[in-house]
Structures are given as C-alpha cells and as structure tokens.
Structure 1
Amino acid sequence: MTFLMHWTFKTGYHAIAAKKFLSTGAPFPACKSWKRFHGPGSVEGWILVESDNADACYEHAAEWAECLDWEVTPVHTDDQAGPFMAKVYS
C-alpha cells in the first residue's frame, strides 16, 4: 500500500530536526520504497511510502514526533482507484 506522509516542523524545532536529519539521514528501512520531498523555503515536506504495513509509517513518525507534526494518508493511483469508482458509479 502507498502512504503519503506530510510533515511540518514544530515551532522552534527546525535546527534540531535539521541536525538530526543531517547526522542520521532519516532512514526508513521498514518499507519497500520511499521518496522524501522538501518544500524549499518552507517548513514542510512529504514522504511517499510503499509498505505492506502501516506500522512502518507510525514508527517513523514516532521517531520524529519531538520535532515534527505528521499527517499520514493512505493513497491510491488512478489505476487502483478506478475500479472502486466504477463499482460505485456504474
């Protein structure tokens, strides 16, 4: 399943989170794949995660909860969502 994890820095935690990120690389080993995106000049970013288990998202968010607020959403591609729409609207 694919999850979109949206994060924002908590007030006063940007430097702490940046130093932690630079020293650890913020690994995400419990996933099949993932891509991290940063909003330049902002205090937010996104991680697109592919995992069979939502627990991987929970664990990663918990590791960073001191510095970041999270919103995690399961998402589908058009190909995945299409059959559900067809079932409802056909």
Structure 2
Amino acid sequence: MKYMISWKIPPGKYVGAAERFLHSGAPVPEPLTLVGRWHAPGSMYGWALIEGDDPIAMAQHSAEWARYLEIQVTPVIDDYEASAGISKVYGSP
C-alpha cells in the first residue's frame, strides 16, 4: 500500500519542526519505506510518499510528528491499480 502524506507547519511550530527534522532526518519506522519527500520552498507545506502494509507503523509515524505538523494521510493507488478497479465497473477498453 502507498500512502501520500501532506503536512502544514502551523504558526509557532516551525522552529521545533525544523530542529527535529535536522536532528533526526525524519526516518519512517520499519517496515515502511520512504519513496520520496518534497518540501515547498518558502512555505510551510510538504509531501511524502510512503510504502508499506502496516497501518500501525503509519499511525506511529504520524503520531511522532503530530506535535509539530498538521498531517493528512491518504492511501493512494497507481494507474494500473486504478484501471483494475475501474474495469470491474466499466469493462476493459
């Protein structure tokens, strides 16, 4: 399963979030894999794509950052997986 995480750093939390990120590197807990992480320069927004089949580890990672970030976690699927689901309703092309 893939999870797209988006976050916003609320007012007054930037320094704490930055210090924690610089100190820890923000690793994801095992058995999750960080596919990529992106930051919007000059803003308080960021995104990460994480892969893994352990929703408890995903909840752990979110909880580790909840003090500093407003976090949204969205399960996502790729085009192939979406096509497989859509074709069950509409048939294959």
Tell me the TM-score normalized by structure 2. 0.90
Residues 9-41 of structure 1 show CA distances to partners (whole Å, capped at 9, x for unaligned) of 021100110011101111113244212111111
Residue 23 in 1 paired to residue 23 in 2?
A: yes
- 3-state SS of paired residue (2:4): strand
* Deviation at residue 73 of structure 1 after TM alignment: 0.4
Q: Return structure 1 stretches of 4+ with deviation > 6 angstroms.
A: none
Kept after mapping to 2: 8 A contact 1:31/1:49: no
Q: In structure 1, how many angstroms separate the alpha carbons of the residues matched to 2:20 and 2:29?
A: 17
| 1:73 paired to 2:48 | no
Equivalent residue, structure 2, for 1:3: 3
**Counterpart-to-counterpart distance in 1, 2:13 and 2:31:** 26
Matched positions, count = 90
Residue segments in structure 2 that go unaligned for 5+ positions in a row? none
Partner in structure 1 of residue 53 of structure 2: 52
Aligned residues: percent identity?
A: 41
RMSD: 1.1
Contact 1:4 / 1:74 at 8 angstroms: preserved in 2? yes
Could you tell me which runs of 5 or more consecutive residues in structure 1 were left unpaired when the two chains were aligned. Answer: none
